[in-house]
Structure 1
Amino acid sequence: MNVGVGADPIAGSDWLRRLLPRMAEMKTRRWLLLALLTAGMGHLVWRAGGEPAAQAQQTAPSAGQRGAQAPRTLKPGEIELQSSRIYTFVGKTGLGHDHGIEGRLRSGQLNVGAKEKAGRLEFDLRTFVADTAAARQYVGLAGQTDRKTADKVTANMLSAAVLDVARFPIATFDVASVVPLPRQGNQPQQYQLIGDFTLHGVKRQIRFQAQGDPVQGFLRLRGQFSIRQTDFGITPYTQALGAVGVADQLTIHGDLYVMAGETPATAESEGPVSAQQPARPGKAGRQ
């Protein structure tokens, strides 16, 4: 286009004059669209990030709320598993050594005073460990066993040659009755327990006495009974052509906390045992 000096090119271009308002209008619309998109993205971000967080606060309880809701109340007769223990005294033969074994129950219920169907205890044999400090003290053994030796004893005990926990992980005591015996003066209350003890797939009837002491809403029952391994199809461990081994007879101690009927407690509480080590029977207490 040839434009002369002094001429107004814009005034001479009608199409450009009409285009300018449209360009201004389009620019305004673009800004408006950008503002809408920005607001929309902000809304999406708020929904994607903010709303679930608020929802999580409504559905997930705080630590304090969880602590108030989580504990399960024990029913009367239930065993408090965290504090209850099974201890076993294993005597020696030849040049062997005496051992103390510590283990736990998998579950337990004792209806103290019942003359029939008085409960059931399940011994988790997979938890049994040889020569812990607590076990040796409980069964009246002096001194300690080094960890390497204790681990070897534990491995032999749990192996297929002895307890065979891969096939028989649980031993049971199906309790027929737990009845109080006549009290002698100020002596602690004694109970007689009768039932069927199953170990290594073999069942035998046992009966023994246990002492009951009220402790912080629980009845602490402590008793013991003896068995012969061979009665349950177990061959006592030996080595060096029998020069080193363990005795056929074992003494099994139960130190159990049974939920009393009057005072509630929770399974996740600190438990009935105080910070001090409970009194343990000495060698004279073993039978």
Structure 2
Amino acid sequence: MTDTGWTLTASEGELQILTGVAGPAAMMGHRLTIAMASWRADVQWRGKQPTAAELVVDVDSLQVVKGEGGVTPLTGPEKGVVRSNALKALEVKKFPQITFTATDITKAIGGYRLDGTVNIHGTSRPQTVDLAVEDTGGVWVLTASAPVRQTQFGIKPYSLFVGSLKVADEVNIRFTARYPK
């Protein structure tokens, strides 16, 4: 059997963070869709079995795509403020990358289960990701979604009005990519 590898980047897919709102004034806040515009996923294969995978995300590539809900629509300048606050909370200068390294990959119904370690904000924690793989003819479509609690990585969720409006602690990471056969 030969060893091969795949490399995926933002040109083949998207990596998004979906946030919620919490606190007594939650109805005033926006549920955000944030895109990470610069990332790279490397997958190592032995024959037809993936053996390792690593995802590296450049934190400074964070872009606020949209905000749903809230009292008023999220404007362009407000998106800039949200981006600035997020980069400050993530301490981008000190922790410029987020990584996920899968060291145990097992076949599952409809795809693979990836067990490994995620490193965010200088803190490493075990993480399991269920990756769905769909054969659409000439392209493999890969999708995954995983919840992450900010406070487990030493990140204080952004808040306003003495905590009565804040970003929910748990965010959802959503990944989609297309890889040609």
Q: Which residue of 2 aligns with 1:247?
A: 168
Q: Which residue matches 1:172?
A: 99
Q: What's the TM-score, normalizing by structure 2?
A: 0.82
Rounded Cα–Cα distance in structure 2 between residues aligned with 1:216 and 1:164 = 42
> Residues 7-33 of structure 1: CA distance to partner in whole angstroms, max 9, x if unpaired?
xxxxxxxxxxxxxxxxxxxxxxxxxxx
Distance of aligned partners of 1:104 and 1:215 in 2 relative to their CA distance in 1, 3 Å threshold: farther
Q: Secondary structure at the match of 1:79?
A: strand
Structure number with the higher helix fraction is 1
Equivalent pair of 1:84/1:105 in contact (CA under 8 Å): no
* Alignment check: 8 A CA contact 1:90 1:246 kept: yes
- Tell which structure's C-alpha radius of gyration is larger: 1
Matches within 5 A, 1:1-287: 76-94=5-23, 95=25, 96-111=29-44, 113-114=49-50, 116=51, 118-130=52-64, 132-133=65-66, 141=68, 145-159=74-88, 162-182=89-109, 189-215=110-136, 217-258=138-179, 263=181
Alpha-carbon contact 2:30-2:69 (below 8 Å) kept: no
One-letter amino acid of the structure 2 residue matched with residue 90 of structure 1: T
* 1:214 CA displacement: 3.0
Partner Cα separation in structure 1 for residue 138 and residue 106 of structure 2:
20
Cα deviations across residues 188-207 of structure 1 (Å, max 9, x unaligned)? x2321111000001001111
Per-residue CA shift, 1:1-55, capped at 9, x if unaligned?
Answer: xxxxxxxxxxxxxxxxxxxxxxxxxxxxxxxxxxxxxxxxxxxxxxxxxxxxxxx
- Tell me the SS of whatever aligns to 2:124: strand
Q: Percent identity?
A: 23
Report the alpha carbon displacement of residue 142 of structure 1 after superposing the two structures with TM.
Answer: 7.0
Give the conservation status (yes or no) of the 8 Å contact 1:105–1:121.
Answer: no
TM-score by length of 1: 0.54
What amino acid is the match of 2:78?
Answer: T
CA RMSD of aligned residues (A): 2.3
SS in 1 for 2:37: strand
Give the Cα–Cα distance (whole angstroms) in 2 for the partners of residues 106 and 204 of structure 1. 20
Point out where structure 1 has 5 or more consecutive residues left out of the alignment.
Answer: 1-74, 183-188, 264-287
Q: Distance between the aligned counterparts of 1:216 and 1:79, measured in 2?
A: 19
Does the 8 Å CA contact 1:90/1:100 hold for their aligned counterparts? Answer: yes
1:168 maps to amino acid: F
Query: Is this contact kept in 1: 2:120–2:153, CA < 8 A?
Result: yes
- 1:147 partner letter: G
Number of aligned positions between the proteins: 169
CA offset at residue 216 of structure 1? 6.7
Cα distance in 1, alignment partners of residues 9 and 173 from structure 2? 19
